[in-house]
Amino acid sequence: MSQGMIRRLAAAMLVALLIAACATSPTGRRQLMLVSEDSAIASSREAYVATVNDLSRKGQLSSDPAVNARVKQITGRLITEAIRMRPDTKDWEWSVVVIDDPDTVNAWCMAGGRMAVYTGLLQEIQPSDDELAQVMGHEIGHALANHTAEKMSVQMASSLGVAAVAIASDHHVAALGGAALAAQLAVNMPNSRAAETEADRIGIELAARAGYDPAAAATLWQKMGAQGGTPPQFLSTHPSPDNRQRKLAELEPEMRRYYDPNGNHPVYRL
């Protein structure tokens, strides 16, 4: 078989695989899904357990009862709404920890509902409950929209592309190096702008349904953007275009129909 035929065959196989791996997010956006959500959840579970155990050994999990109670109250209300939005997530192992790290302004939610918020975010940003709900709602939004598996799939597709080119040109070492590089980039790879917009949309609705003021979405990002010196880590992994506050403010009237600060807002017990 000629090199030209091998190249065309490799390219055709890659295109067919990518087309077959398309999925649809909760907001109707098309996603590349080479990695299943179950696989992403299993990988996240392993990473979360290792991370929390390490932090516990180092004494870096917050023991402040008031801080932990506040975070669990807010995230508990959000999780209740997340399960209503995606009933299958009732089987997730939802959990949240507060990491005692005053120098880190960050929060995250892994696939499968395992969350963390850093004391640096609480101390530097000083979010109101409404604003903290926007942070955690946004992070839960990433999990509900399966963004972890999507990012893993993009990395895998990149590796497959490199491998296909290498096979076609008989450069096997290049394929191995490309795959390793893609895996390394995966660790700190930010979400795409489309994924961020989607998490904003899901997060502000979750917060509103949980009884948190949707106007806080815009004020939160104002506080984030006002941080002097080195930008918060939260911004490095959550690319924020200039019009983000405007888009969130535009969503506020729509979210008002879900918002009832005096309603019954059950708390998922963590």
Residues forming the active site: 139
Using only the alpha carbons of the chain, give its radius of gyration.
20
d(CA 112, CA 30): 21
Whether the Cβ atoms of residue 200 and residue 217 lie closer than 8 Å to each other: yes
95-99, strands of its sheet edge to edge: 95-99, 114-118, 107-109
Helix, strand, or coil here: 179?
helix
Q: What is the DSSP string of 54-122?
A: HHHHTT-B---HHHHHHHHHHHHHHHHHHHHHSGGGGGS--EEEEE--TT---EEE-TTSEEEEEHHHH
Whether the Cβ atoms of residue 117 and residue 71 lie closer than 8 Å to each other: yes
In this structure, the number of other CB atoms found within 10 A of the CB of residue 203 comes to 25
Choose among 180, 218, 182: nearest CA to 200: 218
Paired sense of beta strands 95-99 and 114-118, if any? parallel
In this structure, the number of other CB atoms found within 10 A of the CB of residue 216 comes to 25
d(CA 240, CA 263): 32
Report the 3 state secondary structure along 38-71. HHHHHHHHHHHHHHHHHHHHCCCECCCHHHHHHH
